[in-house]
């Protein structure tokens, strides 16, 4: 039930969002551009402005500029969140001079190792931006890609010092094999720093089509797993699915030689989030009623929480009954926006 919105309401919503910054309170991501894109893609473009009005209190002004990012000094600006506006300006210029797929192909391998910054929200925002550009290119949609790539560059953060553990043959079993971090760590950065061991699933995959297949498997496994494990942390655990799904959505716009490295980075992100927030024990979850995809979208919109809407969007990409049940679980666990 994915649609290509031609009403102009998505563009109007993106222009509203682009007057605001990529974060608030110095650490919380602006989810508005991702949510309005998801709603438009799921046939709810008429609701984007009403949802934005409800979300408005979570938006901050666009940040101040420091100094231009250039082709010479960009490595020193990578990962400096104070330079978010400078990075957005840089990508705005780049996308004004070159086709968006060329810019994406140039910067994807530079940014991919740092997809863990900003709690993986930057790469998720890029995935939404790419999907909307694939359905139709215009100025607000190109601007959204500039903001998304700029946020990723500003929040670029790598993961190092992780010991490899044996992985199971399937993504689902390998997620089950992820060891949880020790208790006592608060906040995403501290929890991420505590990740010291991960199974290295699918490391032998190098062929592009095989990489896409395994990434599709990972997104489905992480989505299904939320139904039984989401109570570990109802908000943060959605990223175990939405981050790799953002990568999966982007593959078709990237050179094929980047597909396998993208799979490996997406696995590490999904496994790390699983280690950081997985509960001690799963539950046997069964939804009270079996809902259609349209009904699940309507309930997610009525609930309003940004993570619920984005997770429901990913669940619809997976498309099976287990995924729809996981989306219902997210609705039940999460606090409504209104």
Has residue 254 been placed in a domain? Answer: yes
**Do residues 275 and 237 share a domain?**
yes
N-to-C CA span, the chain: 26
**Do residues 110 and 168 share a domain?**
no
**Do residues 61 and 94 share a domain?**
yes
Where among 106, 133, 154 does a domain terminate? Answer: 154
Where among 96, 120, 154 does a domain terminate? Answer: 154
**Do residues 194 and 328 share a domain?**
yes
Has residue 316 been placed in a domain? Answer: yes
**Do residues 89 and 21 share a domain?**
yes
**Do residues 191 and 325 share a domain?**
yes
Has residue 2 been placed in a domain? Answer: no
Question: What's the number of domains the chain is made of?
Answer: 2
**Do residues 193 and 301 share a domain?**
yes
Give the integer Cα–Cα distance in Å for 140 and 178: 40
Where among 95, 120, 154 does a domain terminate? Answer: 154
**Do residues 166 and 20 share a domain?**
no
**Do residues 197 and 336 share a domain?**
yes
**Do residues 146 and 198 share a domain?**
no
pLDDT score of 7 more than 90: no
Tens digits of per-residue pLDDT, 271-317?
999 999 999 999 999 998 899 999 999 999 999 999 999 999 999 99
What is the domain range of residue 188?
160-338
Tokens 């919105």: give the residue.
Answer: 5
Three-state secondary structure readout of the chain? CCCCCCCCHHHHHHHHHCCECCEECCCEECCHHHHHHHHHHCCCHHHHHHHHHHHHHHCCECCCCCCCCCCCCHHHHCCCHHHHHHHHHHHHHHHHHCCHHHHHHHHHHHHHHHECHHHHHHHHHHHHHHHHHHHCCCHHHHHHHHHHHHHHHHCCECCCCCEEECCCCCHHHHHHCCCCCCCCCCCHHHHHHCCCEEECCCCCCCCHHHHHHHHHHHHHHHHHHHHHHHHHCCCHHHHHHHHHHHHHHHHCCCCHHHHHHHHHHHHHHHHHHHHHHCCCCCCCCCCCCCCCHHHHHHHHHHHCCHHHHHHHHHHHHHCCHHHHHHHHHHHHHCCCCC
pTM above 0.75, yes or no: yes
What is the rounded average pLDDT of the residues 48-61?
97
Has residue 3 been placed in a domain? Answer: no
**Do residues 52 and 22 share a domain?**
yes
**Do residues 195 and 317 share a domain?**
yes
- Using pLDDT thresholds of 50, 70 and 90, give the confidence band for residue 1: low
Has residue 1 been placed in a domain? Answer: no
The mean of the pLDDT values for the chain is 96
pLDDT score of 333 more than 90: yes
């Amino acid at each position: 039930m994915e649609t290509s919105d031609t009403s102009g309401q998505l563009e109007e919503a993106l222009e509203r969002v682009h007057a605001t910054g990529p974060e608030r309170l110095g650490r919380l991501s602006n989810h508005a551009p991702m949510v309005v894109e998801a709603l438009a893609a799921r046939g709810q473009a008429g609701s984007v402005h009403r949802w934005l009005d409800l979300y408005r209190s979570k938006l901050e002004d666009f940040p101040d500029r420091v100094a231009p990012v250039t082709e010479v000094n960009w490595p020193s600006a990578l990962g400096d969140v104070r330079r978010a506006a400078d990075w957005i300006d840089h990508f705005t210029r780049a996308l004004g001079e070159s086709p968006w797929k060329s810019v994406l192909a140039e910067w994807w391998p530079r940014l991919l190792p740092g997809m863990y910054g900003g709690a993986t929200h930057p790469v998720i925002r890029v995935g939404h931006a790419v999907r909307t550009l694939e359905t139709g290119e215009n100025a607000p949609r190109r601007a959204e890609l500039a903001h998304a790539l700029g946020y990723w560059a500003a929040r670029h953060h790598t993961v190092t010092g992780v010991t490899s553990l044996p992985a199971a043959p399937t993504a689902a079993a390998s997620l089950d094999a992820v060891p949880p971090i020790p208790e006592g760590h608060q906040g995403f950065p501290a929890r991420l720093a505590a990740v010291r061991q991960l199974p290295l699933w699918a490391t032998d995959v190098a062929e592009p089509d095989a990489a896409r297949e395994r990434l599709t498997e990972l997104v489905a496994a992480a989505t299904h797993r939320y139904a039984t494990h989401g109570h570990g942390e109802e908000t943060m655990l959605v990223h175990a699915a939405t981050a790799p799904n953002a990568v999966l959505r982007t593959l078709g716009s990237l050179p094929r030689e980047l597909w396998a490295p993208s799979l490996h980075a997406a696995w590490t992100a999904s496994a790390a989030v699983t280690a950081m927030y997985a509960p001690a024990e799963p539950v046997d979850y069964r939804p009270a009623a079996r809902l259609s995809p349209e009904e699940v979208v309507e309930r997610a919109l009525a609930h309003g929480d940004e993570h619920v809407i984005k997770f429901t969007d990913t669940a619809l990409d997976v498309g099976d009954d287990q995924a729809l049940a996981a989306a219902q679980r997210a609705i039940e666990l999460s606090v409504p926006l209104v």
